[in-house]
């Protein structure tokens, strides 16, 4: 980290600091009922970035930065993966600014505030900054280019840091001859920021190209360009020696998303295939298939910090294979590429595989603990440090979770390492609780004899070493147990399908698995807050956190069809993709996606789940109908989303929908210890007599065209008195955990 200095004067709620303080020092503070705001005076300079972060907090912090005029210029509640707060800001004017720390929802406690001038992107103390500035992207400016002169053997580091939430940055490095020699989308730390580390073999003028994913991002980001002699350059695939076999050039786009090339190989011949992007933002995937169409080798990102791809394959017998290059299926990238094929020694395949297997590097001497099915790697030194007792508890938990998931629930065993075990690491998880990474696509899982998978993938996974600074009430061992079962379920999922386009399946299934395997240690009930606070968003929305929070959809299906239906979904993911995975699964039990989602949305209203007492909130009330006439919704509903509108008119009334044809009405209310669900359709009668908390659910039956392809439709409801009989309840839920809805939104008439 670069060391800088900033003059600080502490105004209130903390110990006074006089003079100059080191930029990477921690300033102690406290928020209490008597002093709910801790304030810090900062003298900032125009165009000089500053990073503010709360850490070691015992509560959920909110960090605000006010400008010299006293008006807020930046604010953050939760930084990526934690309840601490972080602001990166570039002052427009020199002056006295004020940093303010408060508690979310009136929370109180102690904390530390870190203040660092400059952009902290992980450079060493020996780094030399070449450029550091703020960039703004919009429809008129989709990229920015910067020349940089590099000497031979310089280790060049280009980094971005998003100032706008959800802004997904991209980086590319162009050689003096105009070819793209390095690319990066996400740097792998759990954020959408990008980083390129490159060591040129020849001096020259290079060019850095900064953009956003798909060229559509809007917002601001910081760019850092530096020379860092202590940075670790990526593996140089161009240095692999071989005999040239073929070379192909082409381009891919929406009209031409893939291209095929024949490859003739002799028995025992090893081919190295390199896919390099030379123009555009193309994210290439390469795949080699046998004459029956079964894949035998594949790669997306080859692990050198770029989006380029590489694999080596040894032919077991003479044959003609098909080499396919295609765009990454979950993106809309395009550009020109070069495919280079060469004959190499068989050991090259081992070299490339070793790069993937070494994806996790511990900060100290590596120790291991073995169980029947797992090998746990840990260290006692550095930022990854843990204790032997904690590592042993992790190993024991993983073995227990293997028994629970594979033996009890019935998941297929996933792909093991060559030593016959599953590899786990106890390490710093970069601000998350854990993560899983694919390291080798083996295509067909040998543990499923009755089906041939096409994208079964071997993995490694990480469980955080201490769960510090995550503002979780549960003790570290409890969080470890929840994370261990969650991440091992990802390992299982990859054994079925490592490239499932229905991304929702991954996190929702792992979160649901927590609730079925670790009892009180599960952490998934906290996630429900995200979906319950915004039920109008579609199923499969890409809005952050909803893939975790919508695990209740799986539980709703399991309540009707047993836990086995969740396993069946992943079995279907082997043969099908996207929504067809879910539709095939539900059709096998006589229902459809819209019908299952409608039941789920009603069950969320009822809170009819065993774990509902631990849910942080109820579903959000959209508004209230207080009189006859036309009631206009204040906002729209996305596909398979719902609004909950409290009915304040008493007695029997007709409710008629005006708006999109996919919308339908349901009457909900509590009676005789039940939440009763009455289908009204587009126009129906609902009698509120005898019901407590009478509510209309407006449900959108439309299914998105593709996962995450969501859009909202508006509507209004015409309310009139009626003498017609009301329909009988369609569905009943237990009201044992029901609670009145909260956070009503004012009506818009």
Angle between helix 551-561 and 593-606 (nearest 10): 100
Q: Quick one: angle between helices 504-517 and 551-561, nearest 10?
A: 60
Q: What domains appear along the chain, each with residue ranges and CATH number?
A: 5-117 (2.60.120.380), 128-227 (2.60.120.380), 237-357 (2.60.120.380), 359-499 (3.40.30), 520-544+565-570+577-749 (no CATH)
> What is the pLDDT confidence band of residue 479, given thresholds at 50, 70 and 90?
very high
What is the per-residue pLDDT for 280? 85
Q: Is the predicted pLDDT of residue 18 greater than 50, yes or no?
A: no
Ranges 241-250, 324-333, 632-641, 650-659: which has the least confidence? 324-333
**What is the structure's pLDDT at 16?**
29
Neighbours of 212 (CB within 10 A): 25
Share of the chain above pLDDT 90, in %: 72
In sequence order, the 6+-apart residues with CB closer than 8 A to the CB of 562 are none
pLDDT score for 85: 83
Nearest-CA neighbor of 720 among 637, 628, 636, 643?
A: 628
Q: How much is the pLDDT for 329?
A: 78
Residue 474: is its pLDDT beyond 70?
yes
Residue 189 Ramachandran class (φ > 0 left, ψ -120 to 50 alpha, else beta): alpha
**What is the spatial distance between Cα 282 and Cα 334, in angstroms, rounded to a whole number?**
4
pLDDT on residue 432: 86
* Residue 2 pLDDT greater than 70, yes or no: no
pLDDT above 80 for 20: no
Cα torsion at 669, 600, 489, 85 (round to 10°)?
A: -70
HEC-encoded secondary structure of 250-291: EEECCCCCEEEEEEEECCCCEEEEEEEEEEECCCEEEEEECC
Q: Interior CA angle at 435 toward 485 and 502, to 5°?
A: 85
- pLDDT above 60 for 3: no
pLDDT digits (tens, 9 = 90+) for 92-116: 889 999 999 998 878 899 998 988 8
DSSP string, 366-409: -EEEE-SSEEEEE-SSSTT---HHHHHHHHHHHHHHHIIIIIII
Residue 593 parent element (H or E): helix 593-606
Instruction: Say how far apart CA 687 and CA 468 lie, in whole Å.
Output: 52
Cα–Cα nearest to 230, from 205, 208, 204, 199: 199
Mean pLDDT of 243-270: 96
Q: How far apart are the first and last CA of the chain?
A: 56
* Of the ranges 77-81, 368-372, 632-636, the best mean pLDDT one: 368-372
Report whether pLDDT(451) > 60: yes
pLDDT above 80: residue 14: no
Q: pLDDT class for 21, splitting at 50, 70, 90? A: very low
- For 34-45, write each residue's pLDDT tens digit: 999 999 988 888
Determine the average pLDDT of the residues in 128-132.
92
Please say whether the beta carbons of 433 and 485 come within 8 A.
Answer: no
- Report residue 469's pLDDT band, with 50, 70 and 90 as the boundaries: low
DSSP state of 662: T
pLDDT of amino acid 207: 97
Residues 678 and 727: their CA atoms lie apart, in Å, by 7
pLDDT reported for residue 318 = 97
Range name among 163-172, 350-359, 389-398, 731-740 with the lowest pLDDT average: 163-172
Q: List helix spans (H) across 436-563.
A: 476-496, 504-517, 528-533, 546-549, 551-561
For residue 450, give every residue at least 6 positions away whose Cβ sits within 8 Å of its Cβ, in sequence order, or none: none
Q: Three-state secondary structure along 207-236?
A: EEEEEEHHHCCCEEEEEEEEECCCCCCCCC
The whole-angstrom separation of Cα 251 and Cα 335 is 5
pLDDT at 79: 61
Cα dihedral: 412, 291, 268, 417 (round 10): -10
| pLDDT at residue number 121 | 80
pLDDT higher than 60, residue 659: yes
pLDDT at 12 over 60: no
- Check pLDDT > 60 for residue 586: yes
Q: What is the mean pLDDT of residues 136-141?
A: 93
Do residues 37 and 101 make contact, with C-beta atoms less than 8 angstroms apart?
Answer: yes
DSSP 238: G
Q: What pLDDT is attached to residue 744? A: 57
Q: Each residue of 413-439: b (16+ CB within 10 Å) or e?
A: bbbbbeeebbbbbbbbbebbbbbbebb
* Whole-model pTM over 0.75: yes
Predicted local distance difference test score (pLDDT) of residue 176: 95
State the pLDDT confidence band at 51, using cuts at 50, 70 and 90. confident
Q: Is the pLDDT of residue 590 over 70?
A: yes
720 with 685: CB under 8 angstroms?
A: no
């Amino acid at each position: 980290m670069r060391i800088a200095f900033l003059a600080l004067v502490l105004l209130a709620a903390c110990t006074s600091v006089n003079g100059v303080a080191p930029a990477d020092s921690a300033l102690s503070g406290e928020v209490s009922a008597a002093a709910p705001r801790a304030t810090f005076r900062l003298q900032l300079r125009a165009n000089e970035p500053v990073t503010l972060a709360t850490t070691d907090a015992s509560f959920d912090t909110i960090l605000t930065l006010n400008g010299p005029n006293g008006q807020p210029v930046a604010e953050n509640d939760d930084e990526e993966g934690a309840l601490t707060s972080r602001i990166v800001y570039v002052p427009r004017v020199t002056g006295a600014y004020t940093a303010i720390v408060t508690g979310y929802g009136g929370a109180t406690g102690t904390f530390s505030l870190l203040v660092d001038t400059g952009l902290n992107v992980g450079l060493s103390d020996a780094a030399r900054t070449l450029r550091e500035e703020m960039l703004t992207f919009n429809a008129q400016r989709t990229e920015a280019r910067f020349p940089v002169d590099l000497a031979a053997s310089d280790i060049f580091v280009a980094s971005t840091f998003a100032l706008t939430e959800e802004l997904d940055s991209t980086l590319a490095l162009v050689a003096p001859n105009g070819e793209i020699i390095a690319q990066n989308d996400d740097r792998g730390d759990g954020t959408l920021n990008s980083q390129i580390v490159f060591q040129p073999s020849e001096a020259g003028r290079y060019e850095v190209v900064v953009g956003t994913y798909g060229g559509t991002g809007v917002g601001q980001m910081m760019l850092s360009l530096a020379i860092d002699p202590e940075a670790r350059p990526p593996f140089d695939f161009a240095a692999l020696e071989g005999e040239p076999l073929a070379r192909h050039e082409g381009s891919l786009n929406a009209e031409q998303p893939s291209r095929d090339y024949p490859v003739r190989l002799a028995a025992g011949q090893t081919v190295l295939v390199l896919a390099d992007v030379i123009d555009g933002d193309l994210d290439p995937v390469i795949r080699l298939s046998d004459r029956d169409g079964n894949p035998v080798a594949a790669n997306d990102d080859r692990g050198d910090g770029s989006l380029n791809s590489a694999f080596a394959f040894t032919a077991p017998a003479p044959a003609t294979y098909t080499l396919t290059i295609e765009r990454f299926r979950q993106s809309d990238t395009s550009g020109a590429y070069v495919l280079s094929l060469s004959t190499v020694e068989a050991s090259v395949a081992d070299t490339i595989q070793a790069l993937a297997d070494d994806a996790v590097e511990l900060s100290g001497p590596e120790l291991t603990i073995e169980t029947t099915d797992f090998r746990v790697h840990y260290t006692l030194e550095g930022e990854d440090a843990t204790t032997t007792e904690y590592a042993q508890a992790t190993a024991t938990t993983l073995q227990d979770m293997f028994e629970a998931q594979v033996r009890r629930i019935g998941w297929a065993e996933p792909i093991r390492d060559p030593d016959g075990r599953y590899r786990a690491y106890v390490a710093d998880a970069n601000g998350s609780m854990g993560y899983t990474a694919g390291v080798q696509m083996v295509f067909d899982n040998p543990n499923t004899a009755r089906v041939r998978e096409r994208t079964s993938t071997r993995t490694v996974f990480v469980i955080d070493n201490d769960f510090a600074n995550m503002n979780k009430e549960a003790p570290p061992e409890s969080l470890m147990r929840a994370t261990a079962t969650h991440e091992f379920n990802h390992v299982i999922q990859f054994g079925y399908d490592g490239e499932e386009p229905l991304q929702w399946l991954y996190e929702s299934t792992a979160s649901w698995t927590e609730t079925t395997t670790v009892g009180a240690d599960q952490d998934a009930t906290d996630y429900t807050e995200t979906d319950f606070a915004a039920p109008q968003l579609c199923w499969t929305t890409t809005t952050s956190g909803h893939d975790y929070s919508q695990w209740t959809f799986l539980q709703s299906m399991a309540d009707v069809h047993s836990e086995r239906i969740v396993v069946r979904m992943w079995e279907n993911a082997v043969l099908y993709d996207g929504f067809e995975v879910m539709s095939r699964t539900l059709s096998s039990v006589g229902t459809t996606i819209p019908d299952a989602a409608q039941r789920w949305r009603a069950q969320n209203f009822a809170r009819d789940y065993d774990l509902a007492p631990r849910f942080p909130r109820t579903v959000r009330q959209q508004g209230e109908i207080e009189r006859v006439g036309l009631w206009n919704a204040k906002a729209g509903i996305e596909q398979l989303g719902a609004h909950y509108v409290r009915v304040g008119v008493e007695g029997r009334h007709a409710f008629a929908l005006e708006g999109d044809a996919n919308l339908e009405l349901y009457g909900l209310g509590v009676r005789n210890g039940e939440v009763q669900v009455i289908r009204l359709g587009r126009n129906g009668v609902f009698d509120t007599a005898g019901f407590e908390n009478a509510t209309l659910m407006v449900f959108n039956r439309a299914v998105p065209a593709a996962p995450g392809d969501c859009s909202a439709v508006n509507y209004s409801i015409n309310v009139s008195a009626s003498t017609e009989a009301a329909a009988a309840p369609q569905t009943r839920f237990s009201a044992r955990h029901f609670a009145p809805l909260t956070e009503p939104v004012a009506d818009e008439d």
